[in-house]
Structure 1
């Protein structure tokens, strides 16, 4: 499995970063050929599924992710969103954390992910992690802008 971690700082308050980070359809804005939608109650509850569908001509790849933890940031605790990838082709997990490191220091957003793609050899993990950092780094920059 390929692993990567992204950390970004934002001048926005934690609540605003959280709202942007959990605006699931906007995640697809910066992922080529991909649309993201929510299956369930709107993406705001544990048990909802976030579905990223990548379409390139006749080829379609679904990446369904179940929300297994969703705790918004509040005074005294970080915001944490845990997703488990439940697809036939794409497996793994992601943990999105929103925290305020201290007064006047803005907000820190951490995106940690472990991903595997069916039939892709382990030797490809470094390239998969590099691609994940590049793509999701663009997503984070877009969401926090």
Structure 2
């Protein structure tokens, strides 16, 4: 499994950063060749299931995820969300933490462990590097877009 961590600081406050990162359909705006569909529990909390479909033409795969932990930021406490990947092609988990940052902004920490089926473990470091780049870019773009 490839484990990676992405940190991003933002001028956006904690509540707004949380909203921008946890409206799941918005991720399709910043991840190339991906569509997101919420299929169960559209409120975003525990039990919400959504599917990221990535690819082109007949070369697509689904990455279904379920929200396992949902603690929005409140009263100065950081927000925390854990997603469990339920697919047959990509498995693992992702955690999103949004905490207060400098000057009223926020700090986002995105941790993820993923395994891509049919990719030998020998390539885990490469998979982690690519995923860190893709998700780092996605987080930066989500935080920049209202």
TM-score range, shorter chain: over 0.9
Superposition TM-score, scaled by structure 1 size: 0.94
Structure 1 residue 106, shift from structure 2 partner: 1.8
* Superposed structure 1 runs of 4+ greater than 3 Å apart: none
C-alpha separation in 1, matches of 2:43 and 2:28: 14
1:111 aligned partner? 110
1:100 to 1:66, Cα distance in 2 relative to 1, 3 A: same
Aligned runs of 1:1-145 on 2, under 5 Å? 1-101=1-101, 104-145=103-144
Distance 1:43 1:85, change over 3 A: farther
Using the size of structure 2 for normalisation, the TM-score is 0.93
Contact 1:54 1:61 (C-alpha < 8 Å) held by counterparts: yes
Matched residue count = 144
User: Structure 1: 5+ residue runs without aligned partners?
Assistant: none
Distance (whole Å) between structure 2 residues aligned to residue 48 and residue 135 of structure 1 = 23
- Give me the CA root mean square deviation: 1.3
Alpha-carbon distance in structure 1 between the residues aligned to 2:117 and 2:106:
36
